[in-house]
Structure 1
Amino acid sequence: MRTAVLLAVLLLASLPAFATDQKPAGDAQAILAQQAQIRSEALAGKGRYKDMAEAQRMVLFNHQDTITRLLQGVDNTSDLSENDKLAVFNAIEAVKAIVTKAEDERMVCVREKPLGSNRPERVCKTVAQRREEKLKADGAVRSTVTCQDGFNGGFCNN
């Protein structure tokens, strides 16, 4: 019990230091300023952008254009519609993935209606998770079709 309380106190004490390291996620002007800085560095072709292919640079700029268009005249991302919030989030994640060269860790969020509900929910998964789910689903479909068509090669239980 004492350990849990001590751990909670240490965690709370470390929060302000962590919070100052990051810009507020909802501050549209801070997001736009960060994107402008990334764009100027990418245009200059310096630092981490010096070896970036021109096609990759154009993809980066396209995502940044989406962010700028959606945040123009907005103070906070909470002022956006749910679909625009998702579009901004996904575009920022795409920019991060390009800059850090970590496409598999890029988070992609979509609004999906769960089975049996009309109320959409936000579902976020990494590119790697989505690819793995697709491969599993494709494999399940292939094995089902193979068994149903009689081309089972001895693997189906008939």
Structure 2
Amino acid sequence: MERASVTRLYKDSSSQKTIMLLETKANGERFKVTLPSQKAGILALEGHGLNDRCPLYRVLSECVRELGGAFGSVVVRLDEVEGVSGRIAVSRGEQIVSWINGDVVELVAFALHVQLPIYVSKEYPSDRDDETALAESMSLPSVFEEALSDILDSGPGASPPFAD
């Protein structure tokens, strides 16, 4: 797993598909991620500070903080068989208490907005790697995880809940 940044968002002239270019910080390796065209605008707007989901991001961060946790990092997984997927870590102190799956575009936009680290991986870290020592009572309420997953998986054009 390597730290990465979004270096470019463009429309491929030959395929007419929208491409997000992720570049690793350590060795400069580049990964092209094909995005649904209707969702690419979310990242483009975030790059200009105009993302209409900013109020939602603030609410999500405040909710996690009130629960005594924090968002950790976003992992974009690249798999030749399963395709591209994403997850976000929720932690308490130095311990990861939960991984929440979500839409890659939404997770990357969220990471860019709240300045979370983005990692590229060929496989996910185990859900239990960093949380084995934690009691089950320490995890986030499942209702919150389900609501967050629903929000991050919301379709294009869906108005974000809690928006002013």
TM-score by length of 1: 0.24
Structure with the higher strand share, 1 or 2? 2
TM-score by length of 2: 0.23
Structure with the higher helix share, 1 or 2? 1
